[in-house]
């Protein structure tokens, strides 16, 4: 099974805490564990037939990833989605991807061109499916992570990766509707064409436009959810 949390660790053996963190992380990202849900150490230990020590370490891993919060007297809960965190995450990520785009657009490595063509084709296939929201958001997530690798800056790649899973939770809100995905995929098609032409300015404009549209829709959905609570 490919875990989202350790997607870059393929071929490596995960420790017990990492395996538990990966499984819990997948449940959080899929929505099986909802924002605010309690993550009890003993319950998790019983489920995986392990002691509470590895569970505590798994919770610390997920806390570092921004997927879990540890609160006084309440213990560990799934991190709550907030409008402030949404704004901060997307603002930081947009700035980091400005650097990525400047680098990759000038170099245009053949491997990235092939990746972009395949990724956009996948997004086109998912953009019209009523049930394709999560898969679309996760394809975008992976495409962005892989693109960052071609910037030739390992520290930059790690900074983007550190925000990726937190951002993915909001992206799923922002890309839930078919209408939003169709708007998004058009921007990706234009980005693919701009990359092929080496048009750095246009690529940066499109990256910003995608991020802003996704953040705006996610904020709207958060407001709706809060109103219905």
Short-list 123, 128, 132, 96, CA closest to 185? 123
Assigned CATH class of 83-228: mainly alpha
Quick one: DSSP state of residue 80?
A: P
Distance, CA of 83 to CA of 223 (rounded, Å): 8
Helix (H, G, I), strand (E, B) or coil at 187: helix
Q: Compute the chain's Rg from CA coordinates.
A: 18
Domain ranges of the chain: 7-78, 83-228
pLDDT band at 225 (very low <50, low <70, confident <90, very high): confident
Tell me which of 10 and 86 has the higher pLDDT: 86
The residues, ordered by sequence, that sit 6+ positions from 179 with a Cβ below 8 Å of its Cβ are none
Reported as a single tens digit per residue, the pLDDT across 47-93 is 999 999 999 999 999 999 999 999 998 899 999 999 999 999 999 99
Handedness of CA 79, 215, 148, 186 (dihedral sign): positive
Mean pLDDT of the chain: 92
Which pTM value belongs to this model? 0.88
Angle at 225 between CA 165 and CA 175, to 5 degrees: 45
The residues, ordered by sequence, that sit 6+ positions from 95 with a Cβ below 8 Å of its Cβ are none
- The two domains 7-78 and 83-228 share their CATH topology (first three levels equal): no
Handedness of CA 46, 52, 53, 55 (dihedral sign): positive
Could you tell me if 31 and 16 are in contact, meaning their C-beta atoms sit under 8 angstroms apart?
Answer: no
Reported as a single tens digit per residue, the pLDDT across 152-190 is 999 999 999 999 999 999 999 999 999 999 999 999 999
Helix (H, G, I), strand (E, B) or coil at 19: helix
Could you tell me if 103 and 151 are in contact, meaning their C-beta atoms sit under 8 angstroms apart?
Answer: yes
One of 3.10.180.10, 3.30.70.920, 1.50.10.20, 1.10.10.10 is the CATH number of 7-78, namely 1.10.10.10
């Amino acid at each position: 099974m490919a875990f989202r949390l350790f997607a870059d660790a393929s071929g490596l053996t995960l420790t017990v805490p990492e395996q538990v963190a990966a499984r819990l992380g997948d449940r959080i990202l899929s929505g099986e564990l909802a924002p605010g849900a309690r993550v009890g150490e003993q319950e998790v230990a019983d489920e995986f037939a392990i002691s509470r020590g590895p569970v505590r370490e798994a919770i610390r891993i997920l806390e570092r990833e921004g997927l879990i919060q540890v609160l006084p007297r309440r213990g560990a809960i799934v991190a709550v989605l907030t409008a402030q965190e949404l704004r901060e995450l997307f603002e930081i990520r947009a700035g980091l991807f400005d650097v990525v785009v400047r680098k990759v657009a000038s170099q245009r490595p053949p491997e990235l061109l092939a990746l972009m063509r395949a990724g956009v084709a996948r997004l086109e296939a998912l953009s019209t499916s009523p049930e394709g929201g999560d898969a679309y958001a996760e394809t975008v997530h992976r495409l962005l992570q892989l693109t960052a690798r071609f910037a030739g800056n390992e520290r930059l790649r790690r900074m983007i990766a550190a925000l990726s899973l937190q951002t993915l939770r909001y992206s799923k809100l922002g890309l839930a509707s078919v209408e939003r995905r169709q708007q998004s995929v058009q921007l990706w098609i234009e980005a693919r064409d701009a990359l092929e032409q080496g048009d750095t300015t246009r690529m940066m404009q499109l990256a910003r436009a995608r991020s802003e549209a996704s953040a705006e829709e996610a904020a709207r959905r958060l407001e709706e959810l809060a109103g219905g609570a």
